[in-house]
Amino acid sequence: MTDTVALSSTYVFLPWVRQGAAAGIKTPDSLGADQAGVVSVPVTLRVNDTDEVTRQVRLYGPGDVTGIDPQQVVRTNPSHLARDFEPNYFPAVDFDRPDFPWLFTPAASGAGERLPDTASAFLHPSLRAAGVHTAPDVALPRLLAGLRVSDEDLIRLITTDLPKHLGVDPESASEDARRFALSAKNLSLLYRHARLAERLKLSIPKLFHWDGTYSFNRG
């Protein structure tokens, strides 16, 4: 008799996932010009019953990279030689190693760089009060790149299709009510719908209004 096991898949956002010796880097990323190009980590060695020996070992940095293994690239959007890629969409590359983009970054993630971050709330620039000028939100390009959607589609998801699920009230007089937390739940919700539209080859508006009917669960 064979037991049946129910399998489920879940998209999980891993903030700055790192493997190997790089996981031991403690130097925070300053995001400034004074950031060192190389970094060392302590390595301890002991053979049998001898005393431990600790040494600083220099890791490879970005200056040591001379090329990219093509096998690390598992998917590109647009695909090679594509002629029908929407000009307002954000291009994307999927790598085999989850830590490949920052594999040789000689620093650990600094404050405010980890997503999901339930302590951070995102307010789309289109929902800001008129006449109020604030510094650009670094989360916006990261969301566009991670979700692989246009800015127009992101606005649509936030204000029209998923506001209640994200906890957003686009019409509220309170700016805080127009924000949503960058939590794993909210990021996964946006990502699932963005990928579903992509797989079905539908625009975001058509995803929620397919033939004038609601065809699937929004949550």
**What pLDDT, on a 0 to 100 scale, did the predictor assign at position 203?**
86
**What pLDDT, on a 0 to 100 scale, did the predictor assign at position 108?**
81
**What pLDDT, on a 0 to 100 scale, did the predictor assign at position 215?**
45
Topology at the third CATH level for domain 118-128+136-219 = Multidrug-efflux Transporter Regulator; Chain: A; Domain 2 (1.10.1660)
**What pLDDT, on a 0 to 100 scale, did the predictor assign at position 14?**
61
Amino acid symbol at 144: L
Write the DSSP string, 6-19. ---------TT---
**What pLDDT, on a 0 to 100 scale, did the predictor assign at position 116?**
60
Q: How far apart are CA 40 and CA 21, in angstroms?
A: 10
Query: Whole-angstrom distance between the N-terminal and C-terminal Cα of the chain?
Result: 36
Residues of the chain with CATH 1.10.1660: 118-128+136-219
Question: From first to last of its 219 residues, what are the pLDDT tens digits of the chain?
Answer: 455 555 555 655 565 678 888 888 888 776 666 778 888 888 898 999 889 999 999 999 888 999 999 999 998 888 888 888 877 777 788 888 888 888 888 888 765 555 566 667 889 988 988 766 666 677 888 788 888 889 999 999 999 989 999 999 999 989 899 999 888 888 888 988 888 888 888 888 888 775 444 444 444
Q: How far apart are CA 34 and CA 165, in angstroms?
A: 42
Residues 175-206 as b/e (b if ≥16 CB within 10 A, e otherwise) read eeebbbbbbbebbebbbebbeebbeeeeebee
* Strands of the chain, DSSP E: 40-45, 53-58, 73-77, 92-95, 117-122, 180-182
**What pLDDT, on a 0 to 100 scale, did the predictor assign at position 199?**
83
**What pLDDT, on a 0 to 100 scale, did the predictor assign at position 16?**
67
**What pLDDT, on a 0 to 100 scale, did the predictor assign at position 216?**
47
The verdict on pTM exceeding 0.75 is no
